[in-house]
């Protein structure tokens, strides 16, 4: 279990990553920060493209980078924050369906739950597992 200072650092890191977003079309800037079992933090932000199918959400940018670079460590938590039109969003942000599926797959791959911190200006919602967002995930 993470202590409060580590949770706050993860949340602050996700909020900071919204500044690295490239979102000229939606102006909806999302940042994510993933804490690994070994304590490292990996970050990402959403990256848009005029060919919308080429866009990637912050969660997938971060999680796929983790898979390519984390070695034998695995994700234990992820914080997600968003800014729209220059303002921190009022309500919590949730991952899209594709990102939920990737999170559930990560939990299956590493045989562990990934705690989620969904950040809004008025609250931070904590979920113990991605399966809470996608209880009927696709499994092969």
Using DSSP, state whether 78 is helix, strand or coil.
strand
8 Å CB contact between 71 and 94? no
Minimal CA–CA distance to 114: which of 61, 82, 73?
Answer: 73
Residue 59 is a catalytic residue: yes
Read out DSSP for 14-39?
A: HHHHGGG-B-TTT-EEEEEEEEETTS
Marked catalytic residue, from 48, 59, 105, 123: 59
Distance CA 54, CA 126 (A): 30
The residues annotated as belonging to the active site are: 59
């Amino acid at each position: 279990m993470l202590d409060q200072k580590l949770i706050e650092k993860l949340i602050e890191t996700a909020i900071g990553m919204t500044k690295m977003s490239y979102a000229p079309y939606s102006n909806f800037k999302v940042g994510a920060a993933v804490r690994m079992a070994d304590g490292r933090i990996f970050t990402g932000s959403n990256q848009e493209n005029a060919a919308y199918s080429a866009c990637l959400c912050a969660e997938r940018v971060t999680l796929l980078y983790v898979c390519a670079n984390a070695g034998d460590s695995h994700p234990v938590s992820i914080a997600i924050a968003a800014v729209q039109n220059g303002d921190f969003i009022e309500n919590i942000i949730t991952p899209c369906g594709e990102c939920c599926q990737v999170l559930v797959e990560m939990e299956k791959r590493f045989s562990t739950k990934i705690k989620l911190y969904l950040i809004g200006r008025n609250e931070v919602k904590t979920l113990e597992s991605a399966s809470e967002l996608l209880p009927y995930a696709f499994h092969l």
